[in-house]
A and B are shown apart, each in its own frame.
Chain A
Amino acid sequence: MVEFDLSMSQYAYFMVVLLMAIGLYAMLTKRNLFKKLVGMVTFQTAIYIFFIQGAVRLKSSVPIIDEEIGMSAAQYVNPLPHLLILTAIVVGISTLGVAAAFLIVIHRRFKTLDDQAIMGLMKEPD
């Protein structure tokens, strides 16, 4: 049987899962399109925090080789997850920018951001 480590040292991951669940819930159930976007950002932020938490290494140094600390990789923080998240933030921002632009146009055309109302308006002939 699989054993899960439920100690307090893992509490950050519970927060990640909580944030992710909130984000997914908002994205899939909220009727207001803007709230869906807020959920989207929450979901993405949860993923960023997951990667950053995975890179945490207590009592270690910045990833620049220092003669006093030595050559052992265990003495330094892993810089790769931070780099991945920097890239992922750029991806997230561009997606959010496109989505926000869509919201402006949709609101101009349909005069509402309510998902159900827009669905009804879309069914009407031009």
Chain B
Amino acid sequence: MSNLPVLIIMPLLLASFLAVLFGIWWPGWARFISIIGTGMALVASIVGLSKVLSTGEALHHYMGGWPPPIGVEYVLDHLSAFMVVIINLIGLIAVVYPPAPGLYEVPRKGIPTYALILLLLGGLNGTVLVGDLFTLYVFLAIYSVATYGLVSLGGDRAMVASLRYLILGTIAGGFYFLGVGFIYFTVGTLNMADAANLLPAFYDSPTIMAAVALIVVGMGVKLALFPLHVWLPDAHSYAPPVVAALLAAIQVKAAAYVIVRIMLTVFQPEYFTDTLPVTTVIVVASAGGIVFGSVMAIAQSDFKRMLAYSTVAQIGFVGLGIGLANPLALVGGLLHILNHAFMKSCLFLVAGGIKHQTGLQQIPRFAGLGRKMPLTMACFTVAALSMIGIPPTAGFFSKWYLVLGSIDAQNWAVVAVILLSSLLSAVYFFRAIEKIYTKSSEGEPAVEQANEPSARILMPIALLAGGIIILGLTNAFIVTQVLNPVAALLSP
């Protein structure tokens, strides 16, 4: 038993509580507290990752000292350690990013914006760490409710988008809960490891098949897997930039994690590939999402809306990694969770910086910004090249593993889709890059008067852009040390 798994969640939940209290009287303190809380969570998760890597074994915490299957268990293994480091790293950068460009306004007294961000991060960490099917539902609900509040900060339209997301998110949560109920009434346990031992005897039961279908569809909505993505473009484009960055980078990935966890830990992967055609469905949906998202992104002129549709496409890559269900593809899909977190949050923060400096959000009006804001645009270009998948940026390597995985699976249609998507994302990102660098400003007053944002805005963006290059160069280490042990679960 180790205390590390809960030590990652505790600072966030505690800081969330403190941020509400302090935010009532001294709003400035709320941000300071959230930086400390997220920083502590990040340190704890890095310590956890290094411990898991050095011992090669999972760390378990039994809440209240009750051992499973009676008590609730928190598990820090390779997969969850990988996820918590991403969540807390992106979370820390999001709270460090100044509120004026990131949240459209500095939080006023009594508006617990930072408390909600901390609650979102706490819920995501809990979802990833908990080893109990029902407690996972509770953490899903915690981060979902925090998300609804955060999205609505973007104004009236965001409020409508958030309400639509709330209704679909509730259906998704309900489906997951119902699936858990089916599993519980069949095997009589909620602990994942215990259920994994008991479930194989019931693999022929229609109840378990229905449970798998309900859980995968529910998580498909939360993951915005095509065609269940309808809530995503509105919610992500109307939300403030920091919120959009958090949602696209880590919030939707938590649902991908749940599917991987259910497939690898609770069930045997063969059940998802051979007995039920779950993985086939996920592959078809993901391939559809990649093409649909890319084409829709080309059609958008609003910068954030283009990024939102691009998220629909990029989710497809994560889905492909899960659906192809061979070690190479799974490594590609999980690596893409990390890479996409860096790329998309960088792009959304750039969008926030541009809107703060110039008030612009339509791509056609960006012409000439490359001369006025060279550093911001350099970071944008790095992230855009990574989205297209040009080496040595990180985006290339996850696509590389996915292509290798789909060749391994003899699935040539998927290879074609991945290559086509690179072409399509080249279309919509080069269109923006061309506008920014080669065109002159054509008398646009906002661009004429634009200048580089302050260092406080630029630092988080540059950190993420630098991270994209570093991830590209160090991906071999991440794959061999962290992701290969996860992929090994596929073929025991």
Tell whether A33 pairs with B163 under 8 Å between CB atoms, given A98-B149, A122-B157: yes
* Distance from A25 Cβ to chain B, minimum over Cβ atoms (Å): 12
Does B148 contact A98, Cβ atoms closer than 8 Å?
yes
Chain A residues lying within 8 Å of B134, measured Cβ to Cβ, are 84, 87
1/0 contact trace for A43-67 toward B, CB 8 Å?
Answer: 1100100110010000000000000
Is the CB–CB distance between A103 and B145 below 8 Å?
Answer: no
Which parts of A98-126 form the interface with B (CB within 8 Å)?
Answer: 98-99, 102-103, 105-106, 109-110, 118, 122
A61 CA to B141 CA, complexed, in Å: 33
How far is it, in angstroms, between the C-alpha of A95 and the C-alpha of B144 when the chains are bound?
A: 9
A102, B181: Cβ atoms closer than 8 Å: no
* A54-B181, A91-B141, A94-B145 known; A43 vs B170 contact (CB < 8 Å): yes
Known: A87-B138, A91-B141, A105-B156. A43 touches B171 (CB 8 A): yes
Q: Is A36 in contact with B141, judged by CB distance below 8 angstroms? A: no
Give Cα A63 to B303, complex, Å. Answer: 58
The answer on a CB contact under 8 Å between B185 and A54 is yes
Minimum CB–CB distance for A107 against chain B, Å: 10
Is A88 interfacial (CB 8 A cutoff)? yes
Name the one of A44, A51, A84, A102 contacting B152, with C-beta atoms under 8 angstroms: A102
Encoded as 1 (CB less than 8 Å from any A CB) or 0, chain B from 141 to 159 comes to: 1001100110010001101
Q: How far is the CB of B21 from chain A (nearest CB, A)?
A: 19
Count how many chain A residues have C-beta atoms less than 8 Å from C-beta atoms of the other chain.
31
**B164-183, CB < 8 A from A:** 166-167, 170-171, 173-174, 177-178, 181
With contact pairs A43-B171, A105-B159 given, residues A91 and B138 touching in the complex (Cβ less than 8 Å)? yes
Q: How far is it, in angstroms, between the C-alpha of A40 and the C-alpha of B144 when the chains are bound? A: 15
A-side contacts of B162, CB under 8 Å: 102
For chain B, the bracket of interface size reads: 20 to 34
Chain A CB count within 10 A is highest, among B137, B162, B171, for B171
> Are A47 and B141 in contact, CB atoms less than 8 angstroms apart?
no
Asked whether, in the complex, the Cβ of B163 is within 8 Å of the Cβ of A40, the reply is: no
- Chain B residues lying within 8 Å of A8, measured Cβ to Cβ, are none
The majority secondary structure among interface residues of chain B is helix
Please tell me if B206 contacts chain A, counting CB pairs below 8 Å: yes
Residue of B nearest to A3 (CB): B206
Checking A36, A95, A103, A109 against B156 with a beta-carbon cut-off of 8 angstroms, the contacting residue is: A109
CB distance from B72 to the nearest CB of A (A): 12
Asked if residues B160 and A40 are in contact (CB atoms below 8 Å), the reply is: no
**Known A47-B174, A94-B145, A98-B145: A103·B181 in contact at CB below 8 Å:** no
Cross-chain contact of A44 among B163, B174, B184, B206 (Cβ < 8 A): B174
Are B145 and A43 within 8 A (Cβ)?
no
B174 in contact with A118 (CB, 8 Å): no
Residues in B with CB closer than 8 Å to A33 are 163
Chain A 66-83, CB within 8 Å of chain B: the 1/0 string? 000000000000001100
B138 touches A2 (CB 8 A): no
A24→B156 CA distance, assembly (Å): 26
In the complex, which residues of chain B have a beta carbon less than 8 angstroms from the beta carbon of A27? Answer: 167, 170-171
Chain B residues with CB under 8 Å of A84's CB are: 134
Contact of B141 among A40, A43, A51, A95 (CB under 8 A): A95
Whether B174 pairs with A99 at a CB distance below 8 angstroms is no
Most chain A beta-carbon contacts within 10 A, residue among B141, B170, B206: B170
B181: A residues at CB distance < 8 A: 47, 50-51, 54, 81
Q: A91-B137, A91-B173, A99-B163 are in contact. List 10 more A-B contacts (CB 8 A).
A: A2-B206, A44-B170, A94-B145, A95-B141, A98-B145, A99-B167, A102-B162, A102-B166, A103-B163, A106-B160
Which A residues lie at the B interface, using CB under 8 A?
A: 2, 24, 27, 33, 36-37, 40, 43-44, 47, 50-51, 54, 80-81, 84, 87-88, 91, 94-95, 98-99, 102-103, 105-106, 109-110, 118, 122
16 sampled A-B residue pairs with Cβ under 8 A = A2-B206, A27-B170, A36-B167, A43-B170, A47-B174, A54-B184, A80-B190, A81-B181, A91-B137, A94-B145, A95-B148, A99-B148, A102-B162, A105-B156, A109-B156, A118-B160
The 6 closest A-B pairs by CB, nearest first: A91-B141, A109-B156, A102-B163, A54-B185, A2-B206, A122-B157
